Amino acid sequence: MSIKITATSTCDLPAELLERYQITMVPLYVSFGGNTYKDGLDASPEDIFRHVEDGGQLPTTAAVNIADYQKLFAELSPKYDSVLHITIGSEFSCCYQNALVAAEEFSNVYVVDSRNLTVGQGILAIEAAEAARRGDSVEDILAMLEQMAEQVDTTFVVDKLDYLAKGGRCSSVVALGANLLKLKPCIVLADGKMTVGKKYRGAFEKVLSDYVLDQLAGKNVNQDRIFVVHTRCDPEVPEAVCDMVRQFGFREVLTAVAGCTISCHCGPNTLGIIFLRK
């Protein structure tokens, strides 16, 4: 039985992992400077940061549209017994709804709402690909993903609130106050939605040490795999966090750079750790 795994570009999996697990990435759209680009193909986070730093407006993002999905499913459906598409959480984008509409024309296409974003979604894609290689049925994989979506632990710490303020997700006054007080909020995904958790205070590097301990110490964690994902941090920062999380016995520690969607919302110098709870 051949099962093809696909995922929206918001899964933020590095090219090496997409190749290793034969996952097809489906790009969202990002618009800035009067042009629209495909996330991860025509535009990168660095393009976004450069545009904003040069005085440009914050870019906007758009979902994969129904026509794009129809084209993708029409191409893949005849080649595989089943096509399984994993989207960014439906609370964050209409990718899931658009994919459902497009999938109605194909009896062997299945759409999964990851209820997550960035490599929280990517972990589900990897787990699905591994299950497909084991020979699991598409029904078993769908059941696994439904349960596993509730076990993904996704959090990240934002160094500065400038991009959140530009995007209207917090006021400029709040952002200014937080920056002056060196407050670094922890963003938590719960029930498919983003909420603000603990507010750390101090230098970003010191905050990250406390954050890792808070997220991992004493928790019932699946130690198979953990991701350290970030947006344009200095290279030594994610390296240091990787060293920290290795002390908790994870068998695989992976790094990823968040794509255009997360970068548009959070800006540079954002870092998170993402793993599965038992």
Asked, for residue 41, whether it belongs to a domain, the answer is no
10 and 121 share a domain? Answer: yes
Least confident of 29-43, 88-102, 163-177, 251-265: 163-177
In DSSP notation, 166-211 reads HTTSS-HHHHHHHHHTTEEEEEEEETTEEEEEEEEES-HHHHHHHH
Q: Which amino acid is at 157?
A: V
Number of domains in the chain: 2
- Looking at the fold, whether 221 and 156 belong to one and the same domain comes out as yes
Cα 66 off chain centre by:
21
User: Residue 175: what pLDDT?
Assistant: 36
- Percentage of the chain beyond pLDDT 70 is 92
For residues 122 and 119, what is the distance between their CA atoms, to the nearest angstrom? 4
Last residue of a domain, one of 99, 116, 148: 148
Last residue of a domain, one of 113, 148, 183: 148
Q: Does 52 map to a domain? A: no
**Does 9 share its domain with 141?**
yes
Inform me whether the pLDDT recorded for 172 exceeds 50.
no
Mean pLDDT of 186-215: 89
Instruction: Report the chain's mean pLDDT, rounded to a whole number.
Output: 91
**pLDDT on residue 74:** 98
The CATH number of the domain holding residue 197 is 3.30.1180.10
Residue 38 lies in a domain: no
Res 176 pLDDT > 60: no
Same domain, 175 and 131: no
The domain of 212 spans 152-277
| Environment class of 212 (CB within 10 Å of its CB; exposed 0-12, middle 13-18, buried 19+) | buried
Per-residue burial over 111-122, b if 16 or more Cβ lie within 10 Å, else e, is: bbbbbbbbbbbb
Tokens found for residue 18: 């997409």
pTM of the model: 0.92
**Segment 206-229, tens digit of pLDDT:** 899 999 999 999 889 999 999 999
In the numeric block, which tokens belong to residue 71? 């084209």
Q: Are residues 141 and 176 in the same domain?
A: no
Looking at the domain assignment, is residue 58 inside a domain? no
- For residue 33, is it within any domain? no
Residue 37 lies in a domain: no
Q: Which of 116, 148, 180 is the last residue of a domain?
A: 148
